[in-house]
Structure 1
Amino acid sequence: MTHFPVYTLDTAPELSRPALNGLAQAFGRVPNIAGAMAGSSQLINGLVGVFGQVHGGSFTEAEIQVLLLTNAVTNTSAWAVAFHSFLALKEGLSETDVQAIRQRRLPQDARHAALSRLARALIENRGHLDDEAKTAFMSAGFNASLLLEVILVVAASTMTNYTASVAQLALDEFLEPYAWSA
């Protein structure tokens, strides 16, 4: 079995340290996922760049968390489900909507449901959306530009979801109350 170390600010490769430092400032700590990703400076720096675009985009932070939590559940990434459950609640999503997504159901909020439905369809269908899926998304008040932006969020979460699965990461202590299994 391959072991993936979880680096800290002090132990990370030199080229990964600036990204880890930025994530530590954003979260008050270096999450295990970032520590594991630091083993590849290209991956951790790519993550920071892509997530900068995600969080600087058109969606609210709550909408981003709907997408990221849906992606984590769809990709069966237990670490990411716990992390995005924590962040979704912090961003004001209701406990009911967070639980719905964790149980592979749609949130009650219609806009959030449209985001979740589209993200799940993108992942499950490997990017192939039928006209019905696109129309349902647009009918919820979104446009073609935002559909393309959902693809960015799916791409960003794929990096963390896959890393968490490949590295078989343990949950950070602060995430234990949000543990999830498929």
Structure 2
Amino acid sequence: MSVFTEHTAETAPVTARRAIEGAQTRFGWLPTPVALMADSPQLLAGFIAASAGFEQTDLSDLEREVVVLVVSTTHECHYCVALHTGKLTRLGVSPELITALRAGSSLPDPRLEALRRFTLAVLDHRGAVPDDELDDFLAAGYLPRHALDVVLGVGAYTMSTFANRLTRAPLDPPLAAHAWTPAA
């Protein structure tokens, strides 16, 4: 039994309605996590603002998705993994790379692997990344700015993954093909 309300544009608090309408337009349906986060218009607005900021970073679309998948698999968010697997598929990313990201395995591309490892270091060390791990990230061609961009992505998607797990957001039918469960 859930204590959270799955809102619609009509039932959501007034301050969350624009966000709900925007999500419906963007996806063609109302993602359940958005409908559930609408119970806290501030959380929903904060996530939307943080994720929009993350989208504007210098990291490429693929690099941002690597960060999101690392956060999502680490936090075991079935919804985010499925949603962002779909996004990777639409980007034309190889099935091998998608499989590795979903499994939390090493990536075949050295630069993306450095990004994956750095994102894990940010999560594992709660931001206090050891110098050698930061040096490895920078040696892969990333800039100090990119390290901070990763922190933004970790923050945005920690909000989302935690909210989705707390509300037990069910997977929406359009994402069923990308369903994911954490390894035991």
TM range (shorter): over 0.9
C-alpha displacement of 1:168? 0.9
Q: For the residues of structure 2 that align with 1:62 and 1:30, how far apart are their CA atoms? A: 24
C-alpha displacement of 1:10? 2.4
Letter of the structure 2 residue corresponding to residue 144 of structure 1: P
- The aligned counterpart of 2:173 is 173
Q: For the residues of structure 2 that align with 1:92 and 1:11, how far apart are their CA atoms? A: 37
- The aligned counterpart of 1:78 is 78
Select the structure with the greater relative contact order (CA < 8 A; seq sep ≥ 6).
2
| Deviation readout 1:125-176 (Å, 9 max, x if unpaired) | 2222111210111011101111011100000001110011101111010111
Unpaired runs of 5+ in structure 1?
none
Moved over 6 A (4+): none
TM-score (norm 2): 0.93
Q: Is residue 51 of structure 2 the alignment partner of residue 51 of structure 1?
A: yes
Q: For the residues of structure 1 that align with 2:116 and 2:93, how far apart are their CA atoms? A: 13
Letter of the structure 1 residue corresponding to residue 9 of structure 2: L
- The aligned counterpart of 1:113 is 113
Is the contact made by 1:66 and 1:88 (CA closer than 8 Å) also made in structure 2?
A: no
TM-score (norm 1): 0.94
Is the contact made by 1:62 and 1:92 (CA closer than 8 Å) also made in structure 2?
A: no
Q: For the residues of structure 2 that align with 1:120 and 1:179, how far apart are their CA atoms? A: 23
| Deviation readout 1:43-84 (Å, 9 max, x if unpaired) | 111111111111111112121111101110011111111111
Is the contact made by 1:23 and 1:29 (CA closer than 8 Å) also made in structure 2?
A: yes
Q: For the residues of structure 2 that align with 1:26 and 1:114, how far apart are their CA atoms? A: 31
* Aligned sequence identity (%): 29
CA RMSD of aligned residues (A): 1.3
Helix, strand or coil for the counterpart of 1:43?
Answer: helix
| Range that drifts further, 127-136 or 24-33 | 24-33
